[in-house]
Amino acid sequence: MTQFTDLGLSQPVLQALDLKGYKEPTPIQAQAIPPVLEGRDLMGIAQTGTGKTAAFMLPSIDRLRDADKQTPFKSCRMLVLAPTRELAGQIADSAKDYGALAGLKVHSIVGGTSVNKDRNKLHRGTDILVATPGRLLDLIDQKAFKLDGVEILVLDEADQMLDLGFIHALRRISELVPADRQTLFFSATMPKQIQELVGKYCRNPAKVSVTPESTTAERIDQYLFMVQQDEKQTLLEMILSERHDVPGKFERVLIFARTKHGCDRIVKKLGQSGIPANAIHGNKSQPQRERALDEFKRAKTPILVATDVAARGIDIPGVSHVLNYELPNVPEQYVHRIGRTARAGRDGVAIAFCAEDERDYLKDIRKKTDAEFERLPLPDNFRAVVEGVGPTKREQKPKLARPKVRPTGGGSAGKDKPKQKHPARKGKPSGAGQGRPGGGRPGGNRNRSRNRSRAAN
């Protein structure tokens, strides 16, 4: 069995790993660390949750220490590009842990935060910078940062960056970094565009792969519900409230929807049923996203509803279930979604809700990933519950009874007493047509009161 001590890592890095309780490298780490230590470019294919971050960060920290260069002014020595804010934060935290004894400075910059704060913290430069492409180019355009000091360039989740439209940003960044850099690509899938990028960015890269392209993790049990689109919310609530047994014990549940508004709608309806949940997507501010993730990590609110983009940075070992409330229209996204569970050697459960209009998506997922789904039956009383929570419009908006008017004058005589009109509403208002202000113009009531006071005096 390979040990970290067999891979040629330095003593400070090994001590940092020991502090984190890491004993044996994962397959991607065992294959990637030696060529990266040698200074070779690398193309790594591995599913999420297999330890990719340590695979490129551990040997890179050692290479930066061995080079023993000063931190460049307004630049960095190692640049890691990530597609989402959450993923960037996870990588930066890991870099700080792994390099705790190496004396290297680590910073991260992402969108949705103060640009001025980013300018200030990067003014003196840093050893390792983890960034989203958009915020990095913002600082470069403001001449607050340069890439002329980059020795190591890392693209993590490269396929996702392409899906998010970062191709032009990546091309521009590649032109700004030195040509003699070391380039490391990591991705869960290997589409044609990634192959083209590897050919342009890398020089004779070593290729490591621990799973076949686009296959799902073996430790994830996958299940399927066939359910109508308008009945999914009912099924979800019955599962989360444990009114219907599903495999596995709930710890943290990650629910995927296709759109931001869909996430918010699911959270709102769960809340109306007494099931607390948070949403995370692009319309949420960075503090809101961080708060939702923190509550999810601490299991304070163990249900999180997310879009594909926002969930890419979620690296939490305790995610027991991934629920695909809506199937993705891109089969590779299914791989990324269910990869949020079964992390750090644990097992996981993935459950898909498939409606009639999503059958083609399911077919594509099966064809691309070779996924085998075990179909689960709907709850015994599901139809009755659906009919019970689907009232007609008249039941949803019952007519309110007209309130009875209390008579103004006591006794029965007051019932037939006609309602008196206000004197000011009868005929022309005082002063109207006499050259005085009032009558139908804004402030007319105040003017009429003033005129009556003058007449009384």
The residue ranking higher by pLDDT, 291 or 336, is 291
Least confident piece of the model among 126-135, 205-214, 220-229, 268-277: 205-214
pLDDT(232) > 60: yes
- Torsion sign over Cα 383, 384, 389, 390: positive
Helix (H) or strand (E) holding 353: strand 348-354
Please compute the mean of the pLDDT values over residues 309-315 and round it to a whole number: 72
Residue 166's contacts (CB-CB under 8 Å, 6 or more residues apart) are 83, 133, 134
pLDDT(169) > 90: yes
pLDDT of residue 194: 79
Could you tell me if 349 and 306 lie in one domain?
A: yes
Least confident piece of the model among 22-31, 47-56, 57-66, 261-270: 47-56
The residue ranking higher by pLDDT, 124 or 445, is 124
Could you tell me if 195 and 291 lie in one domain?
A: no
**b/e sequence 259-285, b meaning 16+ C-beta within 10 Å:** ebebbbebbeebeeeeeebbbbbeebe
The residue ranking higher by pLDDT, 242 or 377, is 377
Task: Give me the number of domains the chain comprises.
Answer: 2
How many helices (H) and strands (E) are present in the chain, helices listed first?
A: 17, 14
448 confidence band (pLDDT: 50, 70, 90): very low
Could you tell me if 174 and 284 lie in one domain?
A: no
pLDDT of residue 157: 86
For residues 395 and 399, give the distance between their C-alpha atoms in angstroms, rounded to a whole number: 9
Instruction: State pLDDT tens for residues 38-75.
Output: 999 999 988 766 788 999 999 999 999 999 899 999 99
Could you tell me if 91 and 119 lie in one domain?
A: yes
- For the chain, first and last CA: distance in Å? 107
Q: How crowded is the C-beta side of 324, counted as CA atoms within 13 Å?
A: 33
pLDDT of residue 212: 56
Final residue of a domain: which of 367, 382, 397? 382
Instruction: State pLDDT tens for residues 351-392.
Output: 999 999 999 999 999 998 888 899 999 998 899 999 884 433
pLDDT of residue 48: 67
Q: In this prediction, what percent of the chain has a pLDDT beyond 90?
A: 56
The residue ranking higher by pLDDT, 266 or 439, is 266
Amino acid identity of residue 34, one-letter, is P
Whether 296 is covered by a domain: the verdict is: yes
Whether 389 is covered by a domain: the verdict is: no
pLDDT(84) > 60: yes
pLDDT of residue 396: 35
Could you tell me if 237 and 92 lie in one domain?
A: no
Whether 387 is covered by a domain: the verdict is: no
Closest CA to 313 of 254, 262, 261: 254
- Torsion sign over Cα 78, 180, 193, 145: positive
Closest CA to 314 of 84, 58, 133, 56: 84
For position 334, which CATH number holds? 3.40.50.300
Which DSSP letter does residue 70 get?
P
213 confidence band (pLDDT: 50, 70, 90): low
Q: Are strands 42-45 and 206-209 parallel, antiparallel or unpaired?
A: parallel
Mean pLDDT of the chain: 83
Report whether 158 contacts 186 (CB < 8 A): yes
pLDDT of residue 175: 92
* pTM higher than the cut 0.85: no
For residues 305 and 150, give the distance between their C-alpha atoms in angstroms, rounded to a whole number: 37
pLDDT of residue 211: 65
pLDDT of residue 119: 95
Report whether 93 contacts 54 (CB < 8 A): no
Helix (H) or strand (E) holding 304: strand 303-306
Please compute the mean of the pLDDT values over residues 114-125 and round it to a whole number: 94
Q: Are strands 319-324 and 303-306 parallel, antiparallel or unpaired?
A: unpaired
Could you tell me if 24 and 90 lie in one domain?
A: yes
For residues 287 and 254, give the distance between their C-alpha atoms in angstroms, rounded to a whole number: 20
Q: How crowded is the C-beta side of 318, counted as CA atoms within 13 Å?
A: 15
The residue ranking higher by pLDDT, 110 or 422, is 110
pLDDT of residue 435: 43
Chain-centroid distance of CA 55 in Å reads 24
Query: Domain span at residue 341?
Result: 220-382
Instruction: State pLDDT tens for residues 133-166.
Output: 999 999 999 999 999 999 999 999 888 888 778 8
Instruction: State pLDDT tens for residues 407-446.
Output: 444 444 444 444 444 444 444 444 444 444 444 444 444 4
Could you tell me if 105 and 142 lie in one domain?
A: yes
State the virtual CA torsion across 304, 329, 282, 113 in degrees, nearest 10: 100
Residue 395's contacts (CB-CB under 8 Å, 6 or more residues apart) are none
Instruction: State pLDDT tens for residues 5-14.
Output: 999 999 999 9
Question: What are the DSSP calls for 369-436, one per residue?
Answer: H---PEE-PPPTTHHHHHHHT---HHHHSPPPPPPPPPPSSSSGGGGSPPPPPPGGGSSSPTTTTTTS
Q: In this prediction, what percent of the chain has a pLDDT beyond 70?
A: 82
Could you tell me if 17 and 136 lie in one domain?
A: yes
> What value does the CA radius of gyration of the chain take, rounded to a whole number of Å?
31
pLDDT of residue 382: 93
Could you tell me if 251 and 328 lie in one domain?
A: yes
The residue ranking higher by pLDDT, 403 or 155, is 155
Could you tell me if 87 and 157 lie in one domain?
A: yes
